[in-house]
Structure 1
Amino acid sequence: MATRFEAVLNVDLDGPRISRHLYGHFAEHLGRCIYGGFYVDGAIRLDVVEALRALNIPNLRWPGGCFADEYHWRDGIGPRAQRPTMVNTHWGGVEENNHFGTHEFMELCELLGAEPYISGNVGSGTVREMSEWVEYLTREGDSPMARLRKANGRDEPWRVRFWGLGNEAWGCGGNMTAEHYAQEARRFGTYCRDYGDNQLYKIAAGANGADYAWTETLMKQIGHLGCRRIRSTGYHALSVHHYTLTGPTWEQKGSATAFDTDEYYTTMVAAARIEEILAGHAAVMDAYDPGQTVGLVLDEWGTWFDVEPGTNPGFLYQQNTLRDALVAGVHFDVFHRFADRLVMANIAQTVNVLQAMILTDPDSGALVLTPTYHVFRMNQGHQDATSLRVDVRTAPPSRPVGDANLTTVSMSASRKDGRLLVSLSNLDAGAPADVRIEIRGGTLETVEAQILTSGAVQDHNTPQTPSAVAPHAHDGVSVAGGALRVRLPAHSFVTVSGIL
């Protein structure tokens, strides 16, 4: 029997704009993300580019991750045969040949139509090293680094706004205290200069999950409690990292595909915790920055399970099921609600690592689009749209999961160019839901809907069954009497769009 849920949507009351950068991506030198994913046999893999262009990906974060704080950018420029090698100590202990470096990454971003987001080396690098990387990429005219760039085949500078001041400084990025890192971020950020009209947006390496004290320490470097005038510092935003983890220990995170219903619900509770995490960091930031001039960046998020059997444990290769897609749907609904403070988010990672958009088969070369990929594509219309608040009229359906209570219907809405987009997830593994949404402040006429679901939450796509979990038209939607009615089958993700 279907559960029933009623809500109200005021389409003429604008909420904050949903930045397209909330749909950002992450590519680290890790496993087969770069080599064997984006970059094969000395060239960018164009079918991967084509698939990602269909998502309109707004930005791509690189080269890490933990790898960023052992990466020295000068090793990745110049003739490839002359580039020195290094050992990727964080991810599998493999040798990195540096064939994919700055120029290759910028070419990839140009092909994707995505803005580059570069994470600089604070952990093992120097202020001069990062400062010169900014100069190399963005300064025109005559200067030492501009001349070096031109000698390597690029006359005109690139536009690179987004710069990360290290990564996970509390851990793999240097095992620093918050107080020490805050000073380092100010120092490194000071020497990352604006050249011409390229205005840098510098992002300090922020907290791990619910470490709100780390965020407060960084905010103290920017302003005083309740201060609306923000002092000039070395950074414009703070990051936070939070993964959906469900296993009993770090060493036992659970299988990406072989899980039961109880494990499924535990995963959904863990995914929904992103609301608490963002609310906690936003509250700390609001105390020091009520004018919301400092951005919050969730530049690593996603599911993290055990690697697929028989693969390198340091490569973090995992399958991607309908469960992962529903995790993504829940996250985006939360992102939309925090669009006033959250300015960017980057899923980890884009190809062949963790909660990937794309999996490539190393034997056949086949490219597989994951269920998570389809959520990104179905939600494209939210990018740079105006968020709309959804008010509940009746209590949303829920179920107890251990000591927690899981709300099983999640939704968000936005408006752009006269078109409404509503995203809904039914997290109940067994029961459908009927949702009635009263539309106020406008008239919604014809609508169309897509649905992403399958027979089981464990279903996933493979080279042999590439469309086992794929979107299709959904006929369980109607408009009558000023209300939108949506039928949500069990474990489904649905988007509804229509002209206002």
Structure 2
Amino acid sequence: MLLKKSFSALLLAAVVAAQPIVAQENKAILNADAGKHVINKNIYGHFAEHLGNCIYNGFYVGDTNKVIPNTAGVRNDIIAALKKLKVPNLRWPGGCFADTYHWKDGVGPKDKRPSLVNVWWGGVTEDNSFGTHDFLNMCELMGAQPYLAGNVGSGTVQELIDWVQYVNNPGTSSPMSTWRVQNGRKDPWNVSIWGIGNEAWGCGGNMKPEFYANLFRQYSTYAAGSSNGVKMFRVASGANGGDYNWTEVLMREIPSSLMEGIALHHYSVIRWEQKGPARDFTEQQYFATMRSALHMEELVTRHSTIMDKYDPAKRVALVVDEWGGWYDVEPGTNPGFLYQQNTVRDAMIAGVTLNIFNNHADRVRMANLAQAVNVLQSVVLTNKEKMILTPTYHVMEMYNVHQDATMLPLQLTTTNYTLGNDRLPAVSGSASKNAAGVTNISLVNIDANKPQSITIDLRGGTFKTVSGRVLTSKKVQDYNSFDEPNKIQPVEFKGARLNGSTLEVTLPPCSVVVLAVK
């Protein structure tokens, strides 16, 4: 009997030891003097595809519009909003659209441009009134670097060579730059960021990685040779989520002298076949979406590990140039337009994802939220002359303090957000120090029901004051509407207390907090 009891006790101890340790409290250690890597501002990039009402009836209302204030057809209110957001780069024209887009159809006199059918998104006919000049001039207005996605799927090497020369060659140094001058632009735009195709594994041609790697080498060689001295940042069409073989093949087959970045696409989706509503979702659907969003940590880590094997010096950047929440379209809207409302759930996705990118600043040096206006997880929604800023917009604005700041290691231990028998880490965080010496800490509590208190041990510096802002609402389903455009916006945060080298913070349920510690 005693032997049986001893064996049972040992067995129980072994079972307990095998269980994951659940933190009893949230705590963190911030090493303020241990920063090594800069959080590249391009992590905070955006995406504008010819999709639904992103370009037409979004950014672009036409230069004859007398109702909505605009500059050369581009809405002034959107430009002002994105300038405040400090958008560092903007990707265009796609997406899937990029590999059916022929740029020469979108330059020259607008009344002579051929129309095209957008076969990917809604089958609508576009008149090509928004083209290369319109996009690049728009980027200048907002102070963003353009990120041009080249057509590899249905285009040619010569077509890409011509585009590079058109936007980068000075004066009349080439037939393409001469054409640009004739079309009204004397000085080149000097575009450095170029995508060599998009989603080559899918809508970009359903290619195998070995085939695409060879195509990339060809396109990349001639693109760089046509750049007229502009330092090119060439981005390879990377993996779909957890397709690690794709990254393995591209890193093995493409020399780093031809590739500055490799892409990764991941959307926070419950299930592709049944995505769920954007507004009236259940807590179970919210929980599942956040599980998908937090999966970004594993994806970035594992793809980075493969890249480290071939590129230990980290010359090639991981470019997450499509990310965000993806749900069913709003009832009554065109299913090909991907229009969805933006709730506090989307603020949670943005907060935890940007924390992941910040914490992997050594390898993740560029990313693009999908998309900027009226499509998927937008920062701006429009309805005729009206425009609203979404919860995602406000998170991106709060987080822009991290742009080009030095990432500070944040060792975080978190409790769980539980729903039934499922659990997720409740608290996410990242930190940086800017050129003025201010330490900024971003914290997210994804728990829809409970506040979370966290104690942060501040090391490697002397701190005297703390201030901050918080974005939250009563329900995770809340959103800004055209009737209530300011329902959700950042306000002063009073839940942080500094006591010597200890910072105590109480995070409300489903909240994003950004603190400045001096």
- Structure 1 partner of 2:230: 198
Once residues 470 and 14 of structure 1 are traced to their aligned partners in structure 2, the CA distance between those partners, rounded to angstroms, is 31
| Structure of larger gyration radius | 2
2:410 matched to 1:386?
A: no
Change (3 A) 1:281 1:407: same
Deviation digits for residues 423-466 of structure 1, max 9, x if unmatched? 00111111111111111111111121101000100000011101
Counterpart for residue 439 of structure 1: 458
Counterpart of 2:310 (choices 274, 288, 302) is 288
Q: Percent same amino acid among aligned pairs?
A: 50
Alignment of 1:70-469 (within 5 A): 70-141=100-171, 142-192=173-223, 193=225, 195-222=227-254, 230=256, 232-233=257-258, 235-247=259-271, 250-362=272-384, 365-392=385-412, 395-400=413-418, 405-417=423-435, 418-469=437-488
Secondary structure at the aligned position of 1:17 is classed as coil
Q: Distance in 2 between matches of 1:96 and 1:195?
A: 29
Mapped contact 1:414–1:421 kept (Cα < 8 A): yes
Mind listing any 5+ residue stretches in structure 2 that lack a counterpart?
Answer: 1-23, 64-72
Q: Secondary structure at the match of 1:315?
A: coil
Q: CA deviation at 1:15?
A: 3.1
In 1, the alpha carbon distance for the partners of 2:500 and 2:456 equals 11
Say whether the 8 Å CA contact 1:194–1:200 is kept in structure 2.
no
Runs of 4+, deviation exceeding 4 Å: 400-404
C-alpha distance in structure 2 between counterparts of 1:208 and 1:413, whole Å: 28
| Alpha carbons of structure 1 residues 108 and 403: separation in structure 2 relative to 1, 3 Å | farther
Alpha carbons 2:415, 2:426 under 8 Å: kept = yes
1:83 & 1:251 partners in 2: Cα distance? Answer: 38
Deviates more, 1:280-289 or 1:347-356: 280-289
What displacement does 1:404 show?
5.5
Once the two structures are superposed, residues 90-138 of structure 1 have per-residue CA deviations (whole angstroms, 9 ceiling, x without a partner) of 0000001100000000111000100000000000000000010000000
The 2-side partners of 1:481 and 1:72 are apart by 61
Distance 2:340 2:77 in 1: 21
SS in structure 1 at match of 2:336: helix
Query: Structure 1 residues 99-108 or 441-450, which shifts more?
Result: 441-450
- Checking the alignment, whether the CA contact within 8 Å between 1:29 and 1:64 is kept in structure 2 is yes
Using the size of structure 2 for normalisation, the TM-score is 0.92
**Counterpart-to-counterpart distance in 1, 2:474 and 2:423:** 25
8 A Cα contact 2:30 2:457, kept in partner: yes
Q: CA RMSD in A?
A: 1.4
Give, in whole Å, the separation in 1 of the partners of 2:163 and 2:336. Answer: 28
- Aligned partners of 1:321 and 1:458 also within 8 Å: yes
Distance in 2 between the 1:144 and 1:399 partners? 61
| 2:136 alignment partner, SS class | helix
Change (3 A) 1:122 1:403: farther
Q: How do 1:55-66 and structure 2 match up within 5 A?
A: 55-66=85-96
1:7 aligned to 2:28?
A: yes
Alignment-derived partner of residue 37 in structure 2: 16
Letter in 2 for 1:128: Q
Distance 2:289 2:399 in 1: 22
User: How many Å separate the matches in 2 of 1:416 and 1:151?
Assistant: 44
The residue that corresponds to 1:226 in the other structure is: none
Q: What is the letter of the counterpart of residue 378 of structure 1?
A: M
Structure 1 unaligned runs (5+)?
224-229
Deviations 1:62-88 (A, max 9, x none): 000000000000000000010000100
In structure 1, the partner of 2:6 is none
The 1-side partners of 2:468 and 2:177 are apart by 50
State the number of aligned residues: 484
Return the offset for 1:352. Answer: 0.2
Amino acid at match of 2:408: L
Deviation at 1:140, TM superposition (A): 1.1
Deviation, 1:222, is: 3.2
- The structure-2 alpha-carbon separation of the partners of 1:61 and 1:402, relative to structure 1 and needing over 3 Å to count, comes to farther
Secondary structure of the 1:22 match is: helix
Cα separation, 2, equivalents of 1:283 and 1:16? 17
The SS at the match of 2:85 is: coil
Structure 1 residue identity aligned to 2:135: F
What residue identity is the alignment partner of 1:34? Answer: I
Q: Deviations over 1:11-37 (max 9, x none)?
A: 011131100000000000000000011
Between the aligned partners of 2:422 and 2:404, the Cα distance in structure 1 is 34
- Amino acid aligned to 2:114: P
